[in-house]
Chain A
Amino acid sequence: MVIDLDRCTGCQACVVACQAENNLPVNTKDLFLQRRAYEWIRIERYWEGEFPDVKARFIPIMCQHCENAPCEPVCPVFATYHNDEGLNVQIYNRCVGTRYCANNCPYQVRFFNYWEPVWPERLRNQLNPDVTVRSRGIMEKCTFCVQRIRRAEVTIERRERATLDHAAMKKRNFLPACVSACPTNALNFGDQLDATGPVKEIFDDVNDHPMHEAHDRKTRGYRLLEEIGTKPNLLYLKKVDRFPLNKSEAHVS
């Protein structure tokens, strides 16, 4: 996935779309007060400056699906592992809730079910049958909507014997829920090897120019906390601002 920070307006459409798709329990007021509300994708807001020279910056943060994922080696029961498509996957019925993975995640995107999720009787009708409801004591996180990717593979590749490229993913509604919701198209999803998709060029550029050569990159791509070497499969495109508050702080390539 590639997230363009210059397009993001912080509108929260992705957040609600994710909650609807992935059967996240409603974040009640009590959960907010207990500091246990969670969102698989969240919009973080950062302040810069003071009135009147003030900016608010938004960044959507979700599981970065790291190539060198710090959460994986610490799981005693192999509930989290790396699949052959590069997704960092969580197997709910293996998880025993040690929370080591959340502890080791530098991006704070793993969430623990401190409570049994509760839906009023009637609201359960809306739950997505493709997605397991996680019970108390289970760790969960963004899956890149793996259920949609699976459906795409089954429907397009196996049943229809067609090529699963970005156009097919988009046309047949198989892109992750956040990506398909995003009004400004700030979120883009695709196979890093699919030249027809929107992400290959940016991934190639960032992969070809590791951090110490970042100034040679031709795109605005960068990885979050690149220096800790987790190698996320999620790239950000730098925010562009004509009038950054402190020009020396703005990244000048």
Chain B
Amino acid sequence: MNLTRRNFLAWAGLSAVGAVACEGFGIREGEFSLQSPVSLPEDLVRGKDNWYATLCRTCPSSEGIVVRVMEGRAKKIQGNPLYPTNQGKQSARCEGGLQAMYHPERLAGPMRRSGGRGSGQFEPLDWPAALDIFKVQLQQNGDNMLMVTEPLRGHMAKLVDRFAKAMGGKHLAFDGMDNIAYRAAVKNVFQQDSLPDFDIANTNFLLSFGADFLSTWVSPTRWAVGYGEFRQGEGRERGTFYQVDSRFSTTAASADQWVPIKPGWEGYLALSLAYVIISEGLQAPGVDVSALTDGRGVGALDAFRPEVAGARIGLPDHLRGETPTEFIQNLAREFAGHRPSLAIGGGSAGAHTNGLFNLEAIYALNYLVGSVGAEGGVRFNPAPPIDDLPASADVASLSDWFSAAEDLNGGRTKLVVVHQADPAHGLPGALNFRDALNRDDLFIVSLSPFIDDTSALADLILPDRVALEDWGSDIPEPGPGYQTLGVQQPVVNPLSDLDPRSSADVLLAMAGELGKQSDLPWNRFEDMLRETSKQLFDLNRGSIKAGSADEFWTTMLQQGGWWDENAKAAVPLDTPAGLFNKIAAKAAEPRYPGLAPGRDTFHLVPFSHISLLDGQNAHLPWLQAVPDPITTVAWQTWLEINDGDAERMGLREGDVVMVSSTASSSIRVPVYPHPGVPPKVVSIPLGQGRRDGPETATDRPAAESSNVMDILEPSQVEGTGALAWANTTVTIIPTGTSIKVSKFEGIVRAIEVGNTEAERIIITEIPGEH
């Protein structure tokens, strides 16, 4: 054959197509079809796709999701449009659920420790043998058992609580950045047991203190949906948003005005705003100021006059050209004058010794503007539809962990059962919890599908199914303002080379074998859910119309849950008498243990990583690769420092510094200077610094992946026992070494903003111009 141009092209084309299709990627022939300009699209892909509703478990807010399943494989996760809280939307974290399922380093089956504790040496064994070991341990040491789980709601919470009680042991739920102080403030200010929702979509003026509610705080997806409407919803005026925060968070970046404040002084600002509102008579019509202040009026808040508070709370001298006093006065006038207005607080504002006071002062503002239980304000949730289903995640406080560590060290705890929680990584280093677990007279059972710092110390690992393969339920907290029960169903089976077993089923089986049927009378977790489904069917109301209990169950699985839009919370709330007096009497400055704030020290404000959160997602490659919105850093820890401070210390991006507090050790972190950090404040994200586990979490040198929890002072939010995680003062010493920062910024040629008309890519206008 002559090698003509035509022949050459034909052969080259054929062989290239063949190679790519058959073995280019080591993928089964036909697994992927090449995009072809001649074939019809429906010819290209074999199989039919189905979308199944279930719940996402990569963040504590448990969004309702739908999962696309083709030929027994889950392909894509999207928000469930029917689900009341996230309304079809999702966060960057949700997609991570797929990678948890198909993660290359998922544990295949039960394993027993074969080397020294923490050596990482395990040998596989079969399920009957593994369960026998677990049973014997429960028999012998059940009454000296400590169960550690992730924060739980719904059926799993009920099951674990009953299991721990039946065995005679204790149950603690672990959350790296707990909401204990926030919960206590809600209880004290609104007399509510469950966390409230915020009607951001209908608010005109939003004032947030420290709450990173568009990124990681409590229920970010739900509130982001509301935020979109708040900004540009049809038929409404664009809302105004102030973020008071000691750190320039993703949420602060979206605010019209970021108000930097000295860490821990948020409560003083809130009461100062209350002072202006009361003294100028700006409260909403019908608000009984006299009752709120026990008849003392503005006198109750005299200590918080803007002239006094403004000088103490560390506002910049000329924010928008106003003095601190003027700024507070103008902010109070705006806040009270653009109703409905809403004040929310959380995150770092509640993570100081005086965190409870800060949050109470912030939420009390809502009474002055009439936003409690009103449209555009704080919205409360009713009790759950089924009585004995926990609707709030009861999380252990720092003082609980201290006593748990004491019990471990004193040999009083003999058995630890860990379910998808990693206290060895996530508790402050000063607790030495890792050492407390590292004892020979202790037996540790891990139910985690992955190795993490705690599982690495385990004697026995019984890998759980991941969320997309397992049953479950959730009562979202906060709910959407009416009764809601989300249902999680297995959308696919585990791959054939994996042999995980649902932890809920394992616990039920153990309870059965140990004769605890009276406490846990179910054979399988699914039975428990079906029983609830029957109870809901008998209620005969809500989102599902069904002729039989079976039809009800199927519909509930199809929709992803059950909800009743009419079952709302009673709008309660008499004006709490003397609320402001009580809060003002509690007023306290933040106290910093350890290093005194001074010239060479910095306040450390840690924060929850946008995709890794407190580290629970650190093993998921997509979520490691998500660039932080502010710094664009991925795969590494970093320290945010003001660019002026950095220049003064001769630090440039990537320079590694040693960060030390008086608590236990120090960590090494590369710096990322930027103009949004307040001077004398530094921030480090949580999430990195795992010592054991999949490569995606652990394959970086210590300076790139350090754990900020290691250096936090173990101080508590007074009155709650919660960890005051924003309460540490640190020194920063350059180490002289430098690394390359792994960041997205600079990979594509950026076009500078605003130098010339042509170079401006983000065009900004002032509201009302159109």
The 8 Å CB contact of A46, one of B47, B240, B762, B766, is B762
Residues of B within 8 A of A57 (CB): 253, 753, 762, 764
Decide: B25 and A12 in contact? CB cutoff 8 A.
no
The 8 Å CB contact of A218, one of B258, B635, B770, is B770
Residues of B within 8 A of A237 (CB): 232
CB contact under 8 A between A51 and B256, given known A132-B35, A173-B78: no
Residues of A within 8 A of B27 (CB): 124, 133
Task: Mark contacts of B493-527 with chain A using CB atoms, 8 A cut-off: 1 yes-contact digit, 0 otherwise.
Answer: 00100000000000000000000000000000000
Decide: B764 and A56 in contact? CB cutoff 8 A.
no
Q: Considering the complex, give the chain B residue whose CB is closest to the CB of A184.
A: B228
For residue B7, CB closer than 8 A to chain A, the reply is: no
Residue of B47, B229, B231 contacting most chain A CB atoms (<10 Å): B231
For residue A130, CB closer than 8 A to chain B, the reply is: yes
Residues of A within 8 A of B88 (CB): 180
The 8 Å CB contact of A29, one of B86, B742, B758, is B742
CB contact under 8 A between A180 and B766, given known A132-B32, A243-B320: no
Decide: A42 and B764 in contact? CB cutoff 8 A.
no
Residue of B254, B636, B677 contacting most chain A CB atoms (<10 Å): B254
Decide: A6 and B232 in contact? CB cutoff 8 A.
yes
Decide: A122 and B95 in contact? CB cutoff 8 A.
no
Tell me the bound Cα distance from A150 to B45 in angstroms: 12
Which of B67-75, B352-360, B416-424, B595-603 forms part of the interface with chain A? Answer: B67-75
Tell me the bound Cα distance from A117 to B621 in angstroms: 14
Decide: A249 and B754 in contact? CB cutoff 8 A.
yes
Decide: B675 and A7 in contact? CB cutoff 8 A.
no
CB contact under 8 A between A123 and B104, given known A17-B95, A51-B260: yes
Task: Mark contacts of B723-744 with chain A using CB atoms, 8 A cut-off: 1 yes-contact digit, 0 otherwise.
Answer: 0000000000000000010111
The 8 Å CB contact of A51, one of B40, B45, B678, B770, is B678
Instruction: Count A interface residues, CB 8 Å.
Output: 101
Residues of B within 8 A of A180 (CB): 78-79, 88
Decide: A183 and B91 in contact? CB cutoff 8 A.
yes
Task: Mark contacts of B232-255 with chain A using CB atoms, 8 A cut-off: 1 yes-contact digit, 0 otherwise.
Answer: 100000101000000010110110
Tell me the bound Cα distance from A240 to B233 in angstroms: 13
Q: Considering the complex, give the chain B residue whose CB is closest to the CB of A117.
A: B25
Residues of A within 8 A of B232 (CB): 4, 6-7, 237, 240
Task: Mark contacts of B199-239 with chain A using CB atoms, 8 A cut-off: 1 yes-contact digit, 0 otherwise.
Answer: 00000000000000011000011001101110110000010
Task: Mark contacts of A122-141 with chain B using CB atoms, 8 A cut-off: 1 yes-contact digit, 0 otherwise.
Answer: 11111111101101000000
For residue B119, CB closer than 8 A to chain A, the reply is: no
Residue of B46, B104, B676, B762 contacting most chain A CB atoms (<10 Å): B762
For residue A151, CB closer than 8 A to chain B, the reply is: yes
Decide: B642 and A19 in contact? CB cutoff 8 A.
no
For residue A247, CB closer than 8 A to chain B, the reply is: yes
Q: How far is the CB of B228 from chain A (nearest CB, A)?
A: 3
Tell me the bound Cα distance from A54 to B644 in angstroms: 13
For residue B92, CB closer than 8 A to chain A, the reply is: yes
Decide: B765 and A253 in contact? CB cutoff 8 A.
yes
Residues of A within 8 A of B20 (CB): 93, 135
Tell me the bound Cα distance from A180 to B65 in angstroms: 12
For residue B51, CB closer than 8 A to chain A, the reply is: yes
Q: How far is the CB of B116 from chain A (nearest CB, A)?
A: 29
Tell me the bound Cα distance from A13 to B757 in angstroms: 30
For residue B129, CB closer than 8 A to chain A, the reply is: no
The 8 Å CB contact of A239, one of B90, B679, B762, is B762
Tell me the bound Cα distance from A30 to B114 in angstroms: 34
Residues of A within 8 A of B642 (CB): 51
For residue A48, CB closer than 8 A to chain B, the reply is: yes
Residues of B within 8 A of A93 (CB): 16-17, 20, 34-35
Query: In A236-251, which residues have CB < 8 Å from any B CB?
Result: 236-244, 247, 249-251
Tell me the bound Cα distance from A50 to B258 in angstroms: 12
Tell me the bound Cα distance from A222 to B762 in angstroms: 10
Task: Mark contacts of B616-643 with chain A using CB atoms, 8 A cut-off: 1 yes-contact digit, 0 otherwise.
Answer: 0000011101110110101110000011
Decide: B765 and A37 in contact? CB cutoff 8 A.
no
Tell me the bound Cα distance from A21 to B90 in angstroms: 14
Decide: B227 and A220 in contact? CB cutoff 8 A.
no
Decide: A13 and B754 in contact? CB cutoff 8 A.
no
Tell me the bound Cα distance from A196 to B31 in angstroms: 38
Interface range on chain B (Cβ under 8 Å from partner): 35 or more
For residue B374, CB closer than 8 A to chain A, the reply is: no
Residues of A within 8 A of B248 (CB): 54, 56
For residue B761, CB closer than 8 A to chain A, the reply is: yes
Task: Mark contacts of B459-483 with chain A using CB atoms, 8 A cut-off: 1 yes-contact digit, 0 otherwise.
Answer: 0000000000000000000000000
CB contact under 8 A between A240 and B764, given known A122-B104, A184-B231: yes
CB contact under 8 A between A151 and B41, given known A47-B674, A51-B677: yes
- Decide if the interface of chain B is mainly helix, strand, loop or mixed: loop
Decide: B92 and A220 in contact? CB cutoff 8 A.
no
Decide: B258 and A54 in contact? CB cutoff 8 A.
yes
For residue B311, CB closer than 8 A to chain A, the reply is: no
Q: Considering the complex, give the chain A residue whose CB is closest to the CB of B47.
A: A129
Tell me the bound Cα distance from A9 to B223 in angstroms: 12
Residues of B within 8 A of A56 (CB): 248, 253, 630, 676
For residue A27, CB closer than 8 A to chain B, the reply is: yes
For residue A209, CB closer than 8 A to chain B, the reply is: no
Residues of A within 8 A of B764 (CB): 57, 238-241, 244, 249-251
Tell me the bound Cα distance from A173 to B90 in angstroms: 14
For residue A20, CB closer than 8 A to chain B, the reply is: yes
Q: How far is the CB of A217 from chain B (nearest CB, A)?
A: 9
Decide: B77 and A20 in contact? CB cutoff 8 A.
yes
Task: Mark contacts of B20-32 with chain A using CB atoms, 8 A cut-off: 1 yes-contact digit, 0 otherwise.
Answer: 1000110100011
For residue A108, CB closer than 8 A to chain B, the reply is: yes
Query: In B58-106, which residues have CB < 8 Å from any A CB?
Result: 66, 70, 73-79, 86, 88-92, 94-96, 98-99, 101-104, 106
For residue B316, CB closer than 8 A to chain A, the reply is: yes
For residue B257, CB closer than 8 A to chain A, the reply is: yes
For residue B271, CB closer than 8 A to chain A, the reply is: no
Residues of B within 8 A of A240 (CB): 231-232, 238, 764-767
Q: Considering the complex, give the chain B residue whose CB is closest to the CB of A222.
A: B763
Q: Considering the complex, give the chain A residue whose CB is closest to the CB of B634.
A: A32
Decide: B676 and A37 in contact? CB cutoff 8 A.
no
Q: How far is the CB of A15 from chain B (nearest CB, A)?
A: 7
Residues of B within 8 A of A51 (CB): 260, 316, 642-644, 675-679
Residues of B within 8 A of A236 (CB): 763
Decide: A11 and B98 in contact? CB cutoff 8 A.
no
For residue A168, CB closer than 8 A to chain B, the reply is: no
For residue A70, CB closer than 8 A to chain B, the reply is: no
Task: Mark contacts of A16-47 with chain B using CB atoms, 8 A cut-off: 1 yes-contact digit, 0 otherwise.
Answer: 11011100001111001101111100111111
Decide: B32 and A49 in contact? CB cutoff 8 A.
no
Q: How far is the CB of A218 from chain B (nearest CB, A)?
A: 7
Decide: B767 and A32 in contact? CB cutoff 8 A.
no
For residue A186, CB closer than 8 A to chain B, the reply is: yes
CB contact under 8 A between A42 and B91, given known A20-B77, A29-B700: no
For residue A156, CB closer than 8 A to chain B, the reply is: no
Decide: A242 and B761 in contact? CB cutoff 8 A.
no
Tell me the bound Cα distance from A180 to B611 in angstroms: 19
Decide: B253 and A173 in contact? CB cutoff 8 A.
no
Decide: A126 and B98 in contact? CB cutoff 8 A.
yes
Subset of 12 A-B contacts with CB under 8 Å: A7-B231, A12-B611, A16-B626, A29-B635, A32-B634, A37-B747, A51-B260, A126-B74, A180-B79, A182-B89, A239-B764, A240-B767
Residues of chain A touching chain B, judged by Cβ–Cβ distance below 8 Å, are: 4-7, 9-13, 15-17, 19-21, 26-29, 32-33, 35-39, 42-59, 91-93, 108, 116-117, 120-130, 132-133, 135, 147, 150-151, 153-154, 173, 177, 180-186, 218-220, 222, 224-225, 227-228, 236-244, 247, 249-253
Can you list the 6 inter-chain pairs with the closest CB atoms, starting with the nearest? A184-B228, A183-B224, A120-B104, A52-B316, A10-B629, A29-B635
Given contact pairs A51-B316, A126-B101, enumerate 14 new A-B contacts (beta carbons under 8 Å). Answer: A4-B232, A10-B250, A16-B95, A33-B742, A47-B675, A48-B754, A54-B248, A91-B37, A124-B31, A150-B41, A180-B88, A183-B225, A186-B228, A250-B764
